Each structure stands twice: as C-alpha cells, then as structure tokens.
C-alpha cells in the first residue's frame, strides 16, 4: 500500500547510518553500529586514554542529539505579508532557527553557496535561544509571547549556554552548504576563541579559510572598560570543502578617488593590446632568494627580447641571439648564489609570451613584467577597512529612526558576497536581525545583473516597550526586518528604473513596488514569508484516561478520521508536503480541476500533484496520472469510497507514479 506521511522532518540520524552502512557494512551487527570495529578499519584502535585533546563542555552530547532530533513543525505560508509572492525566489522565515534549519534539510540539503550569520555575541543581554529538548515548538511559542531573557555573566555556565546554543545550529547549517560553499560568522572577543574551536569541530580544522578583521570603528569604542578602545570585530570563515573552492577575490574600482585603506597602493598602469585591456603586473623574477640556481635550476635561464619586434623568447645564459637583448635573472645577493629564479618556466614563457611585457628602466636596461588581465580584482585581504556599521542605512530607510543597535552594513556583505563570485547562488542568514543580508543580495543583483536568492531566518524576538521600534508600531524584530526589505527593495527597484529611463527625481513610493517588479521582472526584490508552527497533520493524543472516560477515547478516534487539523488551510498542507518531500518553497503552486475535484500542481513541470478535496474518484486519479507527475499525494479521508482508494493504488502503480497518503 501507499506510504503515509508522518509530518516529521528529515531523519538525519538514519541518513547518516545509511551512508555508513553502504560503505562499511561489516561494522553493523543486528542493525547496530560497532564503533570499535569502525575505528579499527580506519587504523584507530580504542585505548583508555583520558588525556586526549578535545573540546568539551557540559551539555555537548545532549545538544548534538537535539540537532539530530526530528522536528514535528512546519512552515506556514503568509502571502499577505509577502512581496510579489507569485514570482519571487526569496524567503523570509519567522521562527526558532534551530527548528527551521531542521525543516530546511530535505529541500535545501547541499544547495546553499554562502551562509552569513551575526549571532548573539554573548554580552550578557538578549540571550533568548534557550532550547528545549522535550518540546521545541512550545518553547518557541513561549518566547514569542514574552519579553526576552538574558544570559548574564553571573550565570554559572556563561560560555556553556552560548556553546549549547551555537553547536546544533552550526551542525545543521553545515549540511545545507554545497561542496564549494562558505560560511562567514561575525563575532567579537567574548566568544571568538570558543567559536573557532567549535567551527574546527563542525567544519574541520583543515577547512578554515581566514579570520577576517573588520575595522568598523576607527575612533574606538570608549566604553569598552578594558583599558583600550576597541576598533574591530572578527569574521570567521570556513569552507565546506577547502579543495572545492578557489581563492577569494575582491573587485577594485580604480576610478574611485578614495580607496579602502587596506587596498591603497593598487593603482595600476592600464594598457591595451590585441587581447584587450591589461595592467602591468609584477616583475617576472622570483623575489624570494631561496629560489635560485641550486633549488630551481630549471627556472634560471636567459630571456631574450627584440626591441624592434617586441618578440620574447628564451635561451641559455650567455647565449647570443642576433637582434635580441639578453635579460638575465636578478642577482641573488645572499653571498652563496648568483641568480634569483624566474617565476615562469621556459615552456610557459614560450607559450604565453603575449602575457609578458618588457619595459625600459631608468638606467637604460630592460625589465620584464607580467600582464594582468583581471586587473580590477585582487585577493581579498584579511583586514577590511573603511566600512562602518549600517546605522546610516537603517535611518535612511526609516525616516531617521534608529531601530537596531550596531546593524551590519550592506557594503560589508557586498565585499563577502563578491568574494565568492556567484551570481545564481542561494545565500542563507539564520540570524537575520535587521535583514542586512537580504538588502545586500538585492543591491548586488541590481548592480551586476545576478539572480542570487536569499533565505532569511529570524526568531520574532519581542521589542522592548521603551524602544523606538516598539513606539513606532513594530512589536518584534521580524516586523522591522520585513519592512526593511520592503523599503530597500522599493528603493533599489526605483533606482533601477530611473537608470533605465535616465530619470533623476522620479517620485519613490512603496506603493509602486509591484508595478516596478513587473516592468523589470528579472530584478527580484520580493520575498515569500513563512512562519514556524506545529505540523498541519494531527497526531494521536496518547494521554492516559480512566475506564469511565470511554467517550473521550471515542472523540479522539473520530477526530483522527481527518488527518489535517481543522484550523489549517489547503495551502498550509501543500507547503508542508513540499518542505518534507524536498521541494523548494519557491516552486510554483497551480490549482487544477480533475473530474470536479480540486488539486494542486507543484513546479513548472508538474513535479507533484496534491489533492486534499473530498470526493476523489478513480477517474480523477486517472486524470492526475495523465499529467505524469513523479508523485501524487492524496488525503486518505477524501476518497469517494474504499474502491476509489484501492483503484488509485493500482492505477498509479501501473503508470510508475508514486502514491503517498496523508
């Protein structure tokens, strides 16, 4: 018979066990994993050595189990709070990010190119991520109905609580990264040491990329209280697989009058040849004296240059070629060796001489340089300067009001986004806060024509009643974040249209956003809103009852006839099915009619068909099958009769279409 959906998120533990069983079947006995045998196969034999190097804290094993515990939640669609619901590929999700990350596993497993997060810095304030192992959904609802709680330094386990909050979230986030994916994490001194150890464990020490320093306040914070004014924060960066990513570059606009301090001195001599523009690069000789005729004899030779034809070729030192000038490697000067080595071999010079240029020196000699084709790019430096926080951006969007403390800057996010060079990637931020990441993604797409998609996740933390945001009508952080994206999107779209029509002073209003979206459809400044809630599917209430309460048992049984909760809509159920069957939440959902029964086709190519309408007949099932979806999902209680349900199984089996019941 058809499998029935259980309303649970992806079973990560079983998935991991299945991977191990496929590679090491001999390590399983009676369905259980023999860890000693697995370690022995890897050349690691068990010892009773308690003095191993390890990173431990109270609750570590429990929060790992919490990360792998399946979620019973779902994400309910909220079109009325969204922008351009039908076309957008962006998501804004309200909910506890631990549960949301679990729910995203099936649909977004290994699909995210970049994650940026700005988690709580553990300063003793606004620490609301106290997870509940028993009932996380109830805990989430409790948080959203009351003021935030803090994690003061006077608590007995100050660092422990923070680590227990971060560990399961990073574990789940790592699953979502592509093989060439990267995660950036903003942090300050309070937890940077613990965070690096934590990331070494989650992502692997070998996948550490860099610890960027972001100088965000050059004047220094005078209230640090620790003897020195703090001028910077950190951005820890890890790869999913260091071997799958290339170097990080940043685009440099050399026409700008003011360059970031960390990129000063990069002014280039830009020229043109038959291959296009290039910049005069570095000299060809290797500046490191350790590379010489003894250590690199194949790289010590003469280069010959013809000043009339500009031809470049190679030869032995002391060789004479008519019409050519001999260019010797530079003198070594270490007292033991005669020459520095060249950076290129003879073969590479002969093959790529068009990427070399010879220029006269002030002494009348010649020097040979490389040509740099991507002269507007340079390696991203591990110090980021001349970018302050995003206070001014927030104020410009909200009529001069400050609704966030120390929001990140879109310029900072643009530097990170540009460094990974992807124009069609999914970008995830599961501590969305002021939604700077969403703003930066939209802005960058507008600038370079990219089609990056964002997924923002934020706990709807209640705003302090004394705050400017609360007084302005924003009850929680999510309300501010969504409004920031709406306003930023409208502004970006407005500027794009002004550029197209060469206008300078066109009136900007939020009301014209949808019209502009249609006019310039490829620029996606919309987003779909989803909110975390308990599953739409009913579960059996197993609370013990007395023998006299037989009517209560009957009521429970009658209530289970329909598996969908009474207060949930078709769309709630459709998106839960998509989520738990691995279909991205941005896929289209189209209503269709089959023999008078309403159903929904999911995806442009009709990947799934979902029917929750009463009166499902054999004819309706056959018409659904004619659309050749991969799977058909039907409500068990909605068949016209028992024969229709039986026939559905055989009809779809003969067509090679999978049937699932809810």
Report how far residue 640's alpha carbon sits from residue 616's, in angstroms, rounded to the nearest whole number: 5
Q: Name the more confident of 462 and 137.
A: 462
pLDDT, position 614: 92
Three-state DSSP class for residue 452: coil
Output 9-17 pairs: Cβ under 8 A, ≥24 positions apart.
9/70, 9/71, 9/72, 9/73, 9/102, 9/103, 9/105, 9/106, 9/580, 10/70, 10/102, 10/105, 10/106, 10/109, 10/580, 11/70, 12/67, 12/68, 12/70, 12/105, 12/175, 13/68
Give the pLDDT confidence score for residue 19 in this predicted structure. Answer: 82
Kindly report the backbone phi and psi dihedral angles of residue 304, in degrees, each rounded to the nearest multiple of 5, phi listed first.
-110, 135
Rounded to an integer, the average pLDDT of 159-175 is 92
CA R_g for the chain = 31
Pair 209, 239: CB distance under 8 Å:
yes
The region that residue 43 occupies, defined by phi over 0 for left and psi between -120 and 50 for alpha, beta otherwise, is left
pLDDT digits 0-9 by tens, 89-106: 999 999 999 999 999 999
The tens digit of pLDDT for each residue in 625-661 reads: 999 999 999 998 899 999 999 999 999 999 999 999 9
Six token digits for residue 282:
């570095």
Mode of pairing for the β-strands spanning 276-283 and 312-315:
unpaired
**Planar angle of CA 210, 97, 407, nearest 5 degrees:** 60
- Which tops the pLDDT comparison, 34 or 266? 34
Residues 6+ apart with CB under 8 A from 154: none
Contact (Cβ atoms closer than 8 angstroms) between residue 478 and residue 94 = yes
Q: How far is CA 259 from the centre of its chain?
A: 28
Q: What is the pLDDT of residue 199?
A: 95
pLDDT band at 572 (very low <50, low <70, confident <90, very high): very high
* Cα 513 from chain centre: 26
Task: Write out the H or E segment, with its range, that includes residue 448.
Answer: helix 436-448
More confident residue, 258 or 548: 548
Q: Mind listing the pLDDT tens digit for each residue in 354-387?
A: 999 999 999 999 999 999 887 777 778 888 888 8
* Cα distance between residue 119 and residue 101, in whole Å: 15
Q: What is the pLDDT of residue 238?
A: 96
Mean pLDDT of 463-481: 91
Q: Is 621 exposed, middle or buried (0-12, 13-18, 19+ CB in 10 A)?
A: buried
Long-range Cβ contacts of 334-339 (<8 Å, 24+ apart): 334/289, 334/292, 337/289, 337/292, 337/293, 337/294, 338/292, 338/293, 339/292, 339/293, 339/300
Q: Which pLDDT value is given to residue 176? A: 97
Stronger pLDDT, 177 or 424, i.e. the higher one: 177
Q: For residue 194, name the pLDDT band (cuts at 50, 70, 90).
A: very high
The contacts of residue 78 (CB under 8 Å, 6+ apart) are 529, 530, 531
pTM given for the model: 0.78
User: Which stretches within 538-601 are classed as H helix?
Assistant: 550-559, 570-580
Question: Residue 236: is its pLDDT beyond 90?
Answer: yes
Coil/strand/helix, residue 182: strand
pLDDT at residue 128 greater than cutoff 70: no
The CA-atom distances, in angstroms, between 284 and each of 91, 368, 558 are 49, 6, 83
What integer best gives the mean pLDDT of the chain?
Answer: 84
Q: What would the two tokens of residue 534 be?
A: 């308990």
Helix residue ranges, H only, 474-585: 477-501, 513-519, 550-559, 570-580
pLDDT value for 216: 85
State the average pLDDT over residues 300-316: 96
Residue with tokens 């028993």: 134
Query: Could you tell me the two tokens for 478?
Result: 């999510």
What lies within 8 Å, CB to CB, of 225 at 6+ separation is none
What's the pLDDT tens digit per position in 477-533?
999 999 999 999 999 988 877 765 565 544 444 444 444 444 444 799 999 999 999
Span 2-26, average pLDDT: 76
Name which of 487, 475, 478, 369 is nearest 433 in CA terms.
478
Q: Mean per-residue pLDDT for 419-425?
A: 85
Model pLDDT, residue 525: 96
Q: In whole angstroms, how far apart are CA 141 and each of 94, 104, 169?
A: 11, 19, 19
Cα dist from 548 to 543, 552, 554, 559, 589, whole Å: 14, 9, 12, 19, 48
Residue 202 DSSP code: I
Of residues 568 and 151, which shows the higher confidence score? 568
Which pLDDT score, from 0 to 100, does residue 275 have? 92
Phi first, then psi: what are they for 84, rounded to 5°? 55, 50
Average pLDDT over residues 247-270: 65
Q: What's the full length of the chain, in residues?
A: 662
Which of 214-228, 458-472, 618-632 has the lowest average pLDDT?
214-228
pLDDT reported for residue 512: 43
Tokens encoding 56? 């431990």
Tens-place pLDDT, residues 589-619: 999 999 999 999 999 888 999 999 999 999 9
d(CA 208, CA 340): 33
Three-state DSSP at 549 gives: helix
């Amino acid at each position: 018979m058809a499998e029935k959906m259980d309303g649970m998120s992806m079973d990560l533990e079983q998935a991991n066990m299945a991977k191990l069983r496929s590679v090491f079947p001999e390590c399983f006995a009676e369905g259980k994993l023999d860890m000693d045998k697995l370690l022995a196969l890897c050349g690691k034999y068990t010892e009773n050595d308690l003095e191993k190097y390890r990173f431990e804290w109270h609750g570590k094993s429990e929060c790992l189990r919490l990360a792998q515990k399946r979620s019973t939640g779902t994400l309910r669609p909220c079109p009325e709070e969204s922008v351009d619901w039908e076309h957008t590929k962006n998501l804004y999700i309200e909910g506890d990010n631990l549960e949301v990350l679990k729910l995203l596993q099936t649909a977004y497993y290994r699909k995210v190119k970049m994650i940026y997060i700005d988690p709580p810095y553990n300063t003793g304030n606004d620490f609301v991520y106290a997870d509940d192992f028993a009932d996380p959904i109830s805990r989430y609802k409790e948080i959203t109905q009351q003021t935030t709680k803090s994690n003061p330094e006077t608590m007995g386990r100050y660092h422990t609580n923070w680590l227990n909050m971060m560990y399961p979230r990073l574990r789940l986030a790592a699953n979502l990264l592509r093989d060439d994916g990267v995660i950036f994490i903003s942090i300050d001194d309070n937890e940077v040491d613990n965070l690096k150890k934590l990331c070494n464990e989650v992502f692997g020490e070998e996948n550490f990329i860099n610890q960027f320093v972001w100088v965000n306040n050059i004047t220094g914070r005078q209230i640090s209280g620790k003897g020195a004014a703090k001028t910077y924060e950190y951005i820890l960066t890890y790869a999913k697989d260091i071997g799958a990513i290339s170097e990080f570059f940043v685009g440099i606009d050399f026409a700008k009058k003011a360059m970031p301090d960390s990129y000063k001195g990069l002014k280039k001599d830009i020229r043109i040849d038959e291959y296009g523009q290039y910049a005069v690069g570095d000299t060809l000789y290797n500046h490191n004296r350790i590379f010489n005729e003894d250590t690199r004899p194949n790289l010590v030779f003469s280069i010959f240059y013809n000043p009339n034809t500009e031809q470049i070729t190679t030869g032995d030192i002391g060789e004479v070629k008519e019409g050519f000038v001999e260019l010797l490697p530079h003198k070594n000067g270490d007292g033991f060796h005669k020459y520095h080595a060249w950076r290129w071999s003879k073969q590479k010079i002969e093959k790529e001489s068009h990427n070399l240029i010879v220029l006269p020196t002030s002494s009348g000699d010649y020097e040979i340089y490389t040509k740099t084709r991507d002269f507007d790019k340079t390696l991203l430096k591990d110090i980021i300067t001349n970018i302050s926080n995003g206070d001014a951006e927030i104020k410009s969007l909200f009529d001069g009001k400050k609704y966030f403390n120390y929001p990140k800057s879109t310029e900072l996010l643009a530097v990170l986004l540009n460094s990974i060079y992807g124009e069609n990637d999914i970008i995830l931020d599961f501590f969305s806060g002021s939604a700077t990441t969403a703003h930066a993604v939209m802005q960058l797409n507008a600038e370079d024509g990219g089609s990056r998609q964002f997924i923002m996740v934020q706990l709807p933390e209640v705003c302090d009643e004394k705050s400017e945001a609360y007084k302005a009508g924003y009850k929680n952080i999510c309300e501010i974040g969504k409004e920031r994206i709406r306003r930023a999107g409208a502004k970006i779209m407005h500027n794009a249209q002004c550029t197209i029509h060469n206008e300078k002073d066109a009136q900007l209003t939020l009301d014209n956003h949808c019209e502009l979206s249609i006019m310039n459809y490829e620029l996606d400044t919309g987003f779909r809103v989803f909110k975390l809630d308990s599953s739409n599917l009913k579960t059996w209430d197993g609370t013990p009852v007395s023998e006299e309460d037989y009517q209560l048992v009957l009521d429970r049984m009658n209530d289970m006839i329909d598996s969908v909760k009474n207060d949930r809509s078709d769309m709630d159920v459709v998106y839960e099915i998509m989520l738990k069957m691995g279909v991205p939440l941005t896929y289209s959902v189209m209503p269709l009619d089959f023999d008078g029964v309403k159903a929904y086709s999911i995806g442009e190519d009709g990947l799934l068909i979902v029917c929750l309408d009463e009166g499902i007949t054999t004819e309706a099932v056959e018409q659904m099958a004619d659309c050749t979806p991969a799977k058909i999902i039907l409500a068990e209680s909605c068949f016209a009769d028992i024969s229709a349900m039986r026939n559905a199984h055989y009809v779809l089996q003969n067509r090679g279409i999978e049937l699932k019941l809810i």
